[in-house]
Amino acid sequence: MNERRERTAGGAPVLEIRGLNVFYGSSHALQGVDLVLRSGVLSVVGRNGMGKTTMCKAIMGLVPIASGSIRFLGEEIAGRRPAEIARAGIGYVPQGRRLWRSLTVDEHLRMMQAGKGGAWTRERIYEVFPRLAERRGNGGGQLSGGEQQMLAISRALLQNPRLLVMDEPTEGLAPVIVAHVEETLTRLAEEGDVAILVIEQNIGVATQMSDPVAIMVNGRINRVIGSAVLAADRDLQQRLLGVGRHGHEEAGENVAPEAMPSTPRPAGPTRVYMANPVLPTRWSQDVPAARIEAEARTLSRPVLATVEGRRVGDVSPLAARAPQEPHVIVAGTLDTKGEELRFIRDLIKGEGLRTRLVDLSTGGGNHGADVTPQEIALASPRASAAIGSSDRGAAVAAMTEAFRNWMQRQQGVAGIIAAGGSGGTAIATAAMQELPVGVPKLMISTMAAGNVTAYVGPTDITMMHAVTDVQGLNRISRVVLGNGARAMAAMARAQIERAAAPAARRGDEGRPLIGLTMFGVTTPCVQQVSKLLERGGWEPLVFHATGIGGRSMEKLVDSGLLRAVVDVSTTEVCDMLVGGVLPATEDRFGAVIRTKIPYVGSVGALDMVNFGAPETVPAHFAGRRFYPHNPQVTLMRTTAEECARIGRWIGERLNLMEGPVRFLIPEGGVSALDKPGQAFHDPEVDAVLFKAITDTVRSTGQRQIIRLPHHINDPAFAAALAQEVQTLHGGRGRAQATRR
């Protein structure tokens, strides 16, 4: 395989066909076919009987050729036996799949893999096609059409081919399976390990998978045309591909595509109105226009756009990127909330903003959204299989993962609004959390009046109580949903204006941002550090270390908004490891590790674990040292064993940081309660904590532990923290921002 890649890199196309002629008796099936595939995916479309399958068979040596040349990676393969061609590196997925009904999925794959090495293994096949993993014990005759097609493709991939020839791979498949096959093939081609020649009758599939597209008419390649041109030109499709047309009606071969007349294609979504939303009877009354408008469906299909053969923008459902133009995403389960979501969408559009209606339904089917559930499901390997399944919990979990992954790839999002119950809220808010802080996020939910911590997470999601269930439009829901839609429109417009404004007007040229963590017992320290940093040209952002506070700070670090961190109060680690109510997650410090920004930290409030009112403290902590911070908050002193565990955990995380690290230890005490005369003062236990950290951290020139004979709230310790920040950044924050 390496040898073949080297030859490809040298300039030879993967497949080159010149002057290929094939006869069936006196019938001239292929009439001088010329075709070149250099890399990636090339689709060949044409009506039945035009010679597409014959061309595939000729490539594989399954039919004799009369004349012409077929070169694979620069080597002539015309006239070779099929087995030799397959061993040379060409995989074939024939029309009709041709599986053994009596062999199981796993037996098919074992048979193909026997004695072969390479990148494709059964394990990788099951990762790419998780549905096959679930059906590995089923026979070929027990599989659905989509599963059979997955197995046929897998069988060919186990040959580790350099070229994959596929004849009608989506024929007879359900739309969700078609989308999954498209996504898989496109991803394989993008990875560069295999080029793909796809024979298709479905113009939509063909134009989504490749640009350009070859059109076969009467046994020859009539033209190779840009996908955008073919997708938009209905007249051209009819003349060259339409059923009922004949060869003598085709345009001459020398006519340029630009000269062909084209039918204008309306831009944007199309509204489809149903005059009778409910099946009428003899007693039916006229349907009010307002109801017809409210129940209208929106049909929208992305148009392929190319510039000099390169895809731009959101060229297809398979594209990883959304349109660049600012737009508002309206998301929810259209199978149950379609009327409400379209009401929100129409109000936002009425404010002059672009929208994208995203369907998060898990029951299967297409409900006229701009982005279908099947397209969203492509972002997660398990989502396609889960959609439409009887296990609603699994379907919601899979769609949540898929929508979160899909959202990470979107561009131009000026805001997102969703409406739903518990399931819809869980799906939508998980994706909202992936967007940067500052992008408007509004969730209209029946769950908004309860504990929304899991939904909001560390970001700036606005939860709005739906009051009534999100189930139909009425005089209350219209007001609530309308308020939410207009609020989102106003926020999105402000977001668009801010993004378009010069940096000077936005204030982006001002002081760099720095994050600090604070707890009540470390407040004096953080206040002093903040003042010193402000004088040094920084803009401090203080986060309350309540579990979510640390996550919010790290969300800004991941978003690239914080230039540095002074992590004074790492107390959330105590609650995570001991079992308090304000815990960090296992990803604490993860943003600093990923971004490698300078980190200055300390041991603030590592002497305590947080609980609620005294009666809420777990019984197994009976006999421990407690302090009633207020009637609703009870603090528990950490033990030597717990401090050793906390110190080791923090030290291991510090070792993963590749940026500059300065971790300062105040030997005089770690909180306002940890000093002489206070409830948690215990120098011996503190010493265990300090030793665990210093013994675990691998000190280098970049990563240093600094022990100081001060209490954490002493001015001298605050000054030391601020000085380390300035030292790591070469002076004043404002000066550095100017240099950048």
Most confident of the ranges 214-218, 277-281, 546-550, 619-623: 619-623
631 and 485 in a common domain: no
Summarize pLDDT for 154-181 with one digit per residue, the tens. 888 888 888 888 888 777 666 666 666 7
d(CA 558, CA 43) in angstroms, rounded, equals: 40
Is residue 507 one of the residues assigned to a domain?
no
d(CA 354, CA 338) in angstroms, rounded, equals: 18
Asked whether residue 104 carries a pLDDT value surpassing 70, the answer given is yes
Averaged over 96-119, what is the pLDDT? 77
Residue whose pair of structure tokens reads 């995989």 in the numeric block: 91
Q: Which of 470, 500, 530 is the last residue of a domain?
A: 500
697, 567 in Cβ contact below 8 A?
no
Question: Which residues lie closer than 8 Å to 508 by C-beta, 6 or more apart?
Answer: none
457 and 397 in a common domain: yes
Q: CB neighbours (10 Å) of residue 45?
A: 25
Query: What per-residue string of b and e applies to 448-481 under the rule 16 or more CB within 10 Å gives b?
Result: beeebeebbbbbbbbbbebeeebeebeeebeebb
The whole-number pLDDT of residue 509 equals: 55
What percent of the chain is modeled with pLDDT above 70? Answer: 80
156 and 128 in a common domain: yes
Q: How far is CA 676 from the centre of its chain?
A: 53
Instruction: Pick the range with the lowest mean pLDDT from 140-144, 587-591, 665-669, 700-704.
Output: 140-144
pLDDT band at 658 (very low <50, low <70, confident <90, very high): very high
Averaged over 241-269, what is the pLDDT? 42
- Axis crossing angle, helix 523-535 with helix 715-728, rounded to the nearest 10: 40
The whole-number pLDDT of residue 445 equals: 92
The whole-number pLDDT of residue 332 equals: 93
The whole-number pLDDT of residue 678 equals: 95
CATH of the domain at 691: 3.40.50.12030
3-state secondary structure of 208: helix
- Exposed/middle/buried for residue 726 (C-beta within 10 Å: 0-12, 13-18, 19+): middle
**Beta-strand pair 220-225/441-445:** unpaired
pLDDT band at 489 (very low <50, low <70, confident <90, very high): very high
The whole-number pLDDT of residue 40 equals: 82
470, 565 in Cβ contact below 8 A?
no
User: Cis omega before residue 666 (within 30°)?
Assistant: no
- Axis crossing angle, helix 105-113 with helix 145-157, rounded to the nearest 10: 10
Is residue 152 one of the residues assigned to a domain?
yes
The whole-number pLDDT of residue 369 equals: 83
d(CA 324, CA 315) in angstroms, rounded, equals: 11
| Among candidate residues 208, 153, 173, 176, the one with its CA nearest the CA of residue 43 | 208
| Among candidate residues 301, 282, 275, the one with its CA nearest the CA of residue 207 | 301
529 and 478 in a common domain: no
Query: Which secondary-structure segment (H or E) carries 59?
Result: helix 52-59
Total domains in the chain come to: 3
For the sheet with 539-544, list strands across it: 539-544, 513-518, 564-567, 599-601, 661-666, 703-708
d(CA 37, CA 302) in angstroms, rounded, equals: 26
Residue 153 sits in which domain range? 2-239
171 and 51 in a common domain: yes
| Among candidate residues 418, 686, 725, 736, the one with its CA nearest the CA of residue 565 | 725
d(CA 454, CA 443) in angstroms, rounded, equals: 13
Q: Which of 453, 478, 500 is the last residue of a domain?
A: 500
Is residue 280 one of the residues assigned to a domain?
no
Who wins on pLDDT, 437 or 112? Answer: 437
Asked whether residue 3 carries a pLDDT value surpassing 60, the answer given is no
Asked whether residue 730 carries a pLDDT value surpassing 80, the answer given is no
Summarize pLDDT for 201-220 with one digit per residue, the tens. 777 777 777 778 888 888 88
522 and 447 in a common domain: no
Who wins on pLDDT, 236 or 690? Answer: 690
- DSSP one-letter string for 405-452: HHHHT---EEEEEEEESHHHHHHHHHHHTTSPTTS-EEEEETTTTS--
The whole-number pLDDT of residue 324 equals: 59
560 and 642 in a common domain: yes
| Among candidate residues 290, 297, 335, the one with its CA nearest the CA of residue 478 | 290
524 and 461 in a common domain: no
Question: Which residues lie closer than 8 Å to 183 by C-beta, 6 or more apart?
Answer: 318, 378
107 and 78 in a common domain: yes
299 and 207 in a common domain: no
Is residue 508 one of the residues assigned to a domain?
no
Averaged over 191-209, what is the pLDDT? 78
The whole-number pLDDT of residue 116 equals: 67
181, 169 in Cβ contact below 8 A?
yes
pLDDT band at 472 (very low <50, low <70, confident <90, very high): confident
**Beta-strand pair 195-200/41-45:** parallel
Is residue 314 one of the residues assigned to a domain?
no
Who wins on pLDDT, 110 or 698? Answer: 698
d(CA 355, CA 67) in angstroms, rounded, equals: 55
The whole-number pLDDT of residue 302 equals: 35
377, 398 in Cβ contact below 8 A?
yes
The whole-number pLDDT of residue 192 equals: 66
121, 159 in Cβ contact below 8 A?
no
The whole-number pLDDT of residue 383 equals: 65
Structure-token pair, residue 41: 């995916």
For the sheet with 626-630, list strands across it: 608-611, 633-637, 626-630
| Among candidate residues 731, 681, 684, 723, the one with its CA nearest the CA of residue 706 | 723
25 and 171 in a common domain: yes
Asked whether residue 292 carries a pLDDT value surpassing 80, the answer given is no
Q: Which of 500, 523, 553 is the last residue of a domain?
A: 500
Is residue 278 one of the residues assigned to a domain?
no
CATH of the domain at 412: 3.40.50.12020
Instruction: Pick the range with the lowest mean pLDDT from 326-335, 464-473, 507-516, 731-740.
Output: 731-740
User: In the beta sheet, which residues pair with residue 332?
Assistant: 359
Is residue 572 one of the residues assigned to a domain?
yes
Asked whether residue 374 carries a pLDDT value surpassing 90, the answer given is no
The whole-number pLDDT of residue 284 equals: 65
| Among candidate residues 238, 222, 359, 236, the one with its CA nearest the CA of residue 299 | 359
d(CA 402, CA 121) in angstroms, rounded, equals: 25
Who wins on pLDDT, 344 or 218? Answer: 344
The whole-number pLDDT of residue 255 equals: 40
Scanning 412-562, the segments in alpha helix (DSSP H) are 422-432, 453-456, 475-500, 503-506, 523-535, 548-558
Summarize pLDDT for 503-539 with one digit per residue, the tens. 555 554 578 999 999 999 999 999 999 999 999 899 9
Asked whether residue 254 carries a pLDDT value surpassing 70, the answer given is no
51, 30 in Cβ contact below 8 A?
yes
Who wins on pLDDT, 618 or 506? Answer: 618
729 and 588 in a common domain: yes
Structure-token pair, residue 72: 């694979």
Is residue 288 one of the residues assigned to a domain?
no
3-state secondary structure of 290: helix
CATH of the domain at 102: 3.40.50.300
Query: What per-residue string of b and e applies to 614-631 under the rule 16 or more CB within 10 Å gives b?
Result: eeebeeeeeeeebeeeee
Asked whether residue 283 carries a pLDDT value surpassing 80, the answer given is no
The pLDDT mean for the chain works out to 81
The pTM (predicted TM-score) of the whole model is 0.52
**Beta-strand pair 441-445/413-420:** parallel
Query: Which secondary-structure segment (H or E) carries 329?
Result: strand 327-332
Structure-token pair, residue 257: 């595509």
3-state secondary structure of 305: coil
